[in-house]
Amino acid sequence: MLNFLRSANPATVLFILLLCFTAQPAPAQDNITVPKARLEELERKEKELEKLKGDQDKTRDQNSELKKENEKAALRPVVAPAEPVVSFVSPPIESLPAVQPYATVESMDLANYYHADANAADRRFRKQKLTVQGEIVGFEKPLFRRNYRILLKTPIRETKVICDFLPEEKVSSVFTTNHGDVLVALIGETRVPIAKVGQTAVVKGECKGRSESAIMILASDLKLTN
């Protein structure tokens, strides 16, 4: 290489030297300066990312807690609210005067007497002609039979007073309307209301005693006071 440089044209030598110097790599810059505005923007974005991450963690914790509460609620037994207890006190049955034909007795009292002592109540009321008075709480219509029943209010859920009626010959059928609140008789093409829930009924009939949970009255006459 040295022999070549000695014999080469001076211009050629100069050209080669220039090439050697320009081919040298530029010294690396050890320090890079970042503008302040750009640095602040990067710091702001980093804080936003941290906040979003924190919100996500909080939401995840809340959902987890809610899931646990729902699972606990699903395991709890569903308890129906207790029905209100009707408080009604009747005079002692032994304090009552002797039964007279069609003497008036409240349906609430009649239910109390049979609930307290069915045998004592039978001795007093069974096969007796009574006038039973009480608020109408419902109706029953046995299938494939002409008779219908009016249920009177009692203070005891498991004891019912049921007045059993046989409609007149001119009545072709008896049924309920207004979701069971109104009892209607069909005479020809005409609908005739008989009674409705909430009215006070005065029923004349014979007490047939207790049959399972019901005190049956074989009814012969019905009057409504309201």
Structural domain contains residue 56? no
Written as one string, the DSSP assignment of 15-75 is: HHHHHHHHHSPPPPPS--PPPHHHHHHHHHHHHHHHHHHHHHHHHHHHHHHHHHHHHHHHH
Residues 6+ apart with CB under 8 A from 104: 130, 131, 132, 133, 202
Structural domain contains residue 62? no
Structural domain contains residue 86? no
Structural domain contains residue 108? yes
pLDDT digits 0-9 by tens, 126-156: 999 999 999 999 999 999 899 999 999 999 9
Structure pTM?
Answer: 0.62
Distance, in Å, from the CA atom of 132 to the CA atom of 152, rounded to the nearest integer, reads 9
Q: Please give the pLDDT value at position 61.
A: 76
Structural domain contains residue 70? no
Range of the domain at 104: 93-224
pLDDT digits 0-9 by tens, 61-104: 777 777 777 676 555 655 555 555 557 899 999 999 999 999 99
Distance, in Å, from the CA atom of 150 to the CA atom of 139, rounded to the nearest integer, reads 5
Structural domain contains residue 185? yes
Structural domain contains residue 154? yes
Residue 160 has pLDDT above 80, yes or no: yes
Give the domain CATH number at 130.
Answer: 2.40.50.140
Q: Please give the pLDDT value at position 221.
A: 97
Domain total in the chain: 1
Q: Please give the pLDDT value at position 215.
A: 97
Structural domain contains residue 135? yes
Amino acid at 146: R
Q: Please give the pLDDT value at position 204.
A: 98
pLDDT digits 0-9 by tens, 171-215: 999 999 999 999 999 999 999 999 999 999 999 999 999 998 999
Q: Please give the pLDDT value at position 62.
A: 73
Higher per-residue pLDDT: 27 or 33: 33
Higher per-residue pLDDT: 34 or 206: 206
